[in-house]
Amino acid sequence: MDSSPTIHAGPLGAQTQYQDGYEKSLLHPMARAEGRQAVGLDGWQLAGEDQWTAYEFSWLNARGKPEVAELSFNVPVTSPNIIESKSMKLYLNGFSQTRFPNAQELLATLERDLSGGFGCTITVNLRGVNTVEKTGLLPGQCLDDLDIDIDVYDYSPELLLCEDRAAEAEHRLYSHGFRSLCPVTGQPDWASIAIDYRGVTIEPARLLRYLVSYRNHQAFHETTIERIFTDIWQRCSPERLSVYGRFLRRGGIDINPYRSSEDDVAPQIRVARQ
């Protein structure tokens, strides 16, 4: 039987090589520091985490029978590295034709490799596909209901504007219309963005225009959310701020970064499109 990797050609002739078997070296870590320097976060003490979910994870048990599960893990914002999502997809795909004597050894392998890649301790959870997870609604005001004209689709932080008043209040806002572009493939990354802050009011129409201005912006999920956090923090000086990106899956994997001035753990919300 031919065990060589399968090569799939895309509609434009691009080829992706999938490893037919477990291979740790497929993981591609990248230092967080470079992206944070680019958005002016170098040296900041951020709180938060990145929530990863792989919906198409499979492996072979000791008798060669395929097992399937939803795989998830959280990466603390303090980890020195992120892992490029396509390399994660190729790495996890290699498990689909690899035998493990038991689930404990499978988990140990995943946790050892991922901890090494991210540079911190990672705990992996496997969830049976028959377990139905309820979806939730993002709290607060939906910016998408605003009846406004928009004509800026390139990153424009100057669109942010705070109302000129001293009173501070709690604000919860979100948009389902967010799009940015993958810096590796140029493919669209769709998301729902939730912004929770205490401070002077950010003009909602200007905030929506600002979020839409990412439509042609190329950046990784983690860097994108950190840039939004930084722009709001520096331009609007809130007393407290969190930004949560619920990105749609691509290649069976979604990454949901959460950045906060206070909280390390993200809310457990999974929106309907996910």
pLDDT tens profile 226-270: 999 999 999 999 999 999 999 999 889 999 999 999 988 999 888
pLDDT band of 11, cuts 50, 70, 90: very low
Is residue 70's pLDDT more than 70?
A: yes
Residue 192 is predicted with a pLDDT of 95
Q: Is 182 a catalytic residue?
A: yes
Residue 117 gets which letter from DSSP? H
Handedness of CA 31, 47, 253, 232 (dihedral sign): negative
Q: Which residue has the higher pLDDT, 179 or 35?
A: 179
Alpha helices in 46-93 (DSSP H): 85-93
Q: pLDDT for 92-147, tens place per residue? A: 999 999 999 999 999 999 999 999 999 999 999 999 877 756 678 899 999 999 99
Choose, from 189, 196, 231, 254, the residue flagged as catalytic: 189
Query: Domains in the chain, ordered, with CATH?
Result: 14-127 (3.30.1130.10), 141-260 (3.30.1130.10)
Q: How far is CA 117 from the centre of its chain?
A: 17
The mean predicted confidence, pLDDT, of the chain is: 89
Q: Among residues 120, 142, 162, 182, which one is catalytic?
A: 182
Comparing CA positions, the residue from 227, 163, 226, 224 lying closest to residue 199 is 163
- At residue 3, the pLDDT reads 38
pLDDT at position 246:
97
What residue type is assigned to position 60 of the chain? Answer: L
**pLDDT single digits (tens) 258-271:** 999 998 899 988 89
Report the pLDDT value the prediction gives residue 121, as an integer from 0 to 100: 98
**3-state SS of the chain: helix, strand, coil percent to 5?**
25, 35, 40
* Mean pLDDT of the region 10-35: 76
Helix (H) or strand (E) holding 243: strand 240-247
Tell whether the model's pLDDT for residue 1 goes beyond 80.
no
pLDDT of residue 132: 57
Q: Determine the Cα–Cα distance for residues 192 and 20; give it in Å rounded to an integer.
A: 34
Question: Other C-beta atoms within 10 Å of 231: how many?
Answer: 20
127 or 43: which leads in pLDDT: 127
Q: What pLDDT, on a 0 to 100 scale, did the predictor assign at position 18? A: 59
Query: What is the spatial distance between Cα 71 and Cα 259, in angstroms, rounded to a whole number?
Result: 22
Residue 13: predicted pLDDT: 42
**Strand residue runs (E) in 92-211:** 125-127, 141-142, 169-181, 188-199
Residue 63, exposed/middle/buried by CB under 10 A (0-12, 13-18, 19+)?
A: exposed
Residue with tokens 């009846």: 147
| Residue 4, pLDDT above cutoff 60 | no
Average pLDDT estimate for 215-231? 96
- Would you call 120 a catalytic residue per the annotation? no
Handedness of CA 82, 86, 90, 92 (dihedral sign): positive
